[in-house]
Chain A
Amino acid sequence: MDFSLSKKEILFLQMIRAFAEKEVKPLAAEVDEEERFPVETVEKMAKLGIMGIPFPVEYGGAGGNNVLYSMAVEELSRVCATTGVIVSAHTSLCASPIYEFGNEEQRKKYLPKLCSGEWIGAFGLTEPNAGTDASAQQTMAVLEDDHYVLNGSKIFITNAAYAHVYIVMAMTDKSQGTRGISAFIVERDFPGFSIGKKEKKMGIRGSATCELIFENCIVPKENLLGKVGEGFKIAMKTLDGGRMGIASQALGIAQGAMDETVKYVKERKQFGKAIGQFQNTQFQLADLQAKIQASRLLVRMAAWKKDMKQPYSVDSAQAKLFAAETAMEVTTKAVQFHGGYGYTREYPVERMMRDAKITEIYEGTSEVQRMVIAAALLK
Chain B
Amino acid sequence: MDKSQYKDVYVFIEQREGVIQKVAIELLGKARELADSLNEKVVAMLLGYEISDKAQELIAYGADVVLCADERELVQYTTEPYAQAITQIVHERKPSVVLIGATTIGRDLGPRLSARLETGLTADCTGLAISDDRELLMTRPAFGGNLMATIICKEHRPQMSTVRPGVMRAKPKDENRQGTVENVHIAFDKSKFKVKVLETIKEQKNRIDITEAKVLVSGGRGVGNAEGFEMLGKLAETLNAEVSSSRAMVDAGVMPHDRQVGQTGKTVRPDLYFAMGISGAIQHLAGMEESEFIIAINKDKYAPIFNTADLGIVGDVKKIVPLLTEKLAAMRK
Contact = CB atoms under 8 A, between A and B. Distances in A.
Q: Do A and B make up one complex? A: yes
Interface stretch (B171-179, B219-227, B279-287): B279-287
B298 to A, nearest CB: 18
A267 B264 contact: no
Nearest to B283: A346
Interface in B266-284: 282-283
B180 interface: no
Contacts of A267: 282, 285-286, 289
A346 B264 contact: yes
A263 B286 contact: yes
A99 interface: no
B263 A346 contact: yes
Contacts of B282: 267-269
A23 B282 CA distance: 25
Contacts of B285: 267
Interface residues of A, number: 8
B263, B282, B283, B289, most chain A CB atoms within 10 A:
B263
B118 to A, nearest CB: 40
A341 B286 CA distance: 14
Contacts of B286: 263, 267
A54 B114 CA distance: 52
Interface of B is mostly: helix
Contacts, number: 13
A347 interface: yes
Nearest to B264: A346
Contacts of B283: 341, 346
A346 B289 CA distance: 19
A347 B283 CA distance: 9
A24 B264 CA distance: 14
Nearest to B307: A269
A318 B286 CA distance: 37
Interface in B286-307: 286, 289
Interface string A316-347: 00000000000000000000000001000011
Contacts of A268: 282
A337 to B, nearest CB: 13
Contacts of B264: 29, 346
A23 to B, nearest CB: 15
Interface in A265-290: 267-269
Contacts of A263: 286
Nearest to A345: B264
A263 B282 CA distance: 11
A29 B260 CA distance: 16
A273 B100 CA distance: 50
A17 to B, nearest CB: 16
Interface string A338-379: 000100001100000000000000000000000000000000
Nearest to B304: A269
Contacts of A269: 282
B5 to A, nearest CB: 53
Nearest to B285: A267
A161 to B, nearest CB: 28
Nearest to A26: B266
A347 B263 CA distance: 8
A267 B283 CA distance: 9
A281 to B, nearest CB: 16
Interface in B242-275: 263-264
A263 B285 CA distance: 12
Nearest to B289: A267
Contacts of A341: 283
Contacts of B263: 346-347
A29 B282 CA distance: 20
A143 B316 CA distance: 82
A269 B285 CA distance: 12
Interface in B191-211: none
A263 B289 CA distance: 12
Contacts of A346: 263-264, 283
Interface string B66-84: 0000000000000000000
Interface of B: 263-264, 282-283, 285-286, 289
13 contacts: A29-B264, A263-B286, A267-B282, A267-B285, A267-B286, A267-B289, A268-B282, A269-B282, A341-B283, A346-B263, A346-B264, A346-B283, A347-B263
Given A267-B285, A346-B263, 5 more contacts: A267-B282, A267-B289, A269-B282, A346-B283, A347-B263
The 6 closest A-B pairs by CB, nearest first: A267-B282, A267-B286, A268-B282, A346-B264, A267-B285, A346-B283
